[in-house]
Amino acid sequence: MKPRESTDYILIGAGAAGCVLAARLSESAGISVQVLEAGPPRAGLMSKIPAALDFALKDDRFNWYYHTEPEPGMDHRRMYCPRGRMVGGSSSINGMMFVRGNPGDFDGWSGKGLPQWSYAHCLPYFKKMENYGKGGNEYRGHNGPLHVTPATLQTPLDQAFLEAGIQAGYAHSEDTNGFRQEGFGIADRNTYRGCRWGAAEAYLQPALGRPNLAVTTHARVHRILFDGTRATGVEYSRHGETRHLYAEREVILCGGSINSPQLLMLSGLGPAAHLAEHHIAVHQDMPGVGENLQDHLDLRVQVRCKQPVSLYPYTHGFGRILAGARWLLTRTGVCASNLFEVAGYVRTREDAGYPNLQSSLVAVAASYDGTDSFKGHGYQAHLDMMRPASRGRVRLKSANPGTCPAIRFNYLQEEPDRTDLVDALQITRNILRQDALAPYDGGEISPGPEVASDREILAWARASGETEYHPTGTCSMGQDDESVVDGDLKVHGMDGLRVVDASVMPTIVTANTHAATLMIAEKAADRILGKTPLPPLNVPVYQRG
C-alpha cells in the first residue's frame, strides 16, 4: 500500500491568486503547501515579451482555449474565451494593464454584507502587493513584489488621444489608480525592465526554493474529496496516473471563474437539479455555483491613419524582426510595451454614480490575437463596458473533468447594457473627432460612418464585440442563498474549503481584473493564516458633485 500523500494546504491552480497564496502561505516555515497546476511550467521567451499579446491566444498549448455556447445577444456566435493554462495562469497571457478599480466597486461589495471588503479595507493590500515605478504615497505601494510601470507614450497617437480626451471635456487624472480614476491619464502596466511581470514572476518564482512549497505541473484535478462536510483532499491525474493528495488544513480553489465552479460541480457542490442531469451525487445543493457570470464586452473603433506614425510597420516583415531584435538586445522599444499607453474612465450617463466605460487607444488597427487586422497605418479606440447588468453562467457539459464546461455570458441581454453601449460609441466617436487627432484621422474603418442609428450600432456590436477576458463572479461572496463563499472566502456549509480567485467578486470591478484578483489573494492569505488584517486606510477619493 502506498503511503498517504498529504500537505497542509492544497492550492488548485497556479494562476494569479494561486501564486500569491503559494508565496504568502509558505512564508511560514511550519506550513507545507502543494500547488497543483493543470498546465505546463511556463511558455518560454515569448511569454516575457509585453507586445507579444497574441502569442498564447492562438492555440491551446498555454491556455484552455474555451469558447462560449452560442450567445443569444451576439448573433448566436460562439465567442472565444481564453484562460491561462500554465504557471501564472491568465497573468501570463493577459494584456498587462494594471487597473485596481473604482473605490465605489469595493464599497459596493461592502454594502452586500461584506464590511471587510470596502475600499478602505482593500487599499492596504493593494499597497502591500505593489512596487510602483513612481514611488509610494498614500495611495500607492513602493516595496511590494508586483512591479507596476507607468506607460511612456510610444507614439504621437498616444499623446494625441490623451489630449483628445481632455478636449472632449473629460478631466486629466494624474493617477487613475490613485485619488481619481475618472478622467484620462497615463496607463499603468505589469512590466518590469521591459518584460512581463505577472504573478509567477512577482510571487511564485522567488518562493520556489522554499522546502515547504511544492508545485506540480500537468496535474489535472478531477474532484474534491470529502469526509462529511469537511474537504479532506483531491483526486487528480498526472501523465495518465490517478492520484490522491490529502489536506491537513485546507483545500483552496484558485482555478478562476470558469474552472473553479466547474470543479465544485464535479465534486457535488452546485445546483442539485443540474448535477442530477449528469448523474453526479449531490454533496450539497448550492444554486449559486456557476451563476452570476460577468465580463466586460470589448469593441474597437478603427480609424485609418493618414500619417505614417502608427505601429503597423512593427507588426509584420522586417519591421517586426527589428523590433524583436531590439527587445532581445536592450529590452526596450515597441516590444517592451503592452501597447495600451493611455486609459480613460468616463460615465455614459449622469446617474452611473462613477465611470462605467473604459476608453483606451492602441496605435495599430488589429484584434488582440492578430487575426483581424487592417493592412495599413491605423489606430483603434477600445470601448469596454465596465459594469454590465447582464449575467451569464457556467454549467457542466458532462461529468468528465476533461470536457470543457458550458459558458454563456449573455452579453447585451439587459436593456441598460444596450443603451450604455450606444452611448459609449457616441462618446468614443466624439473623442476621436477632437482637434488633437485631426491630423491623423483618415476616416473610420469600423464600424464605419454608415453605422449611425441605435439599431445599426447594436447590430455592429453583436457582430464584432469580443470578450475583454475578464470573467468574474461565478463563486460569489456574500451572505444570501445565491452566494457561494462568505467574507473569509470559505464555501458556505463546508469546512476546510475556500475559493480564492476572481470568481468570488460579487460584482465586476471597473478595471482589468488582474490587480483586484491579486488583492483578494493577499487579503485571503492573512485570513487563512489567522493574522490580524491590515488596518483600513481612509483616504480622500474623488466624488463628483
Question: Who contacts 362 (Cβ-Cβ below 8 Å, separation ≥6)?
Answer: 311, 339, 340, 379, 380, 382
d(CA 370, CA 308): 20
d(CA 262, CA 81): 15
d(CA 331, CA 337): 10
Q: Is 460 helix (H, G, I), strand (E, B) or coil?
A: helix
CB 107 within 8 A of CB 98: no
CB 184 within 8 A of CB 162: yes
194, three cell numbers: 521591459
Place of cell 474552472: 259
Q: Is 470 a catalytic residue?
A: yes
User: Considering only CA atoms, which of 149, 168, 55, 130 is closest in space to residue 341?
Assistant: 149
**DSSP per-residue codes, 408-441:** E--TT-SHHHHHHHHHHHHHHHHHHTSGGGTTTE
Task: Tell me the one-letter amino acid at 437.
Answer: L
CB 346 within 8 A of CB 358: no
Question: Who contacts 8 (Cβ-Cβ below 8 Å, separation ≥6)?
Answer: 31, 32, 33, 247, 248, 249, 250
From the list 121, 470, 492, 514, the catalytic residue is 470
Active site residue ranges: 470
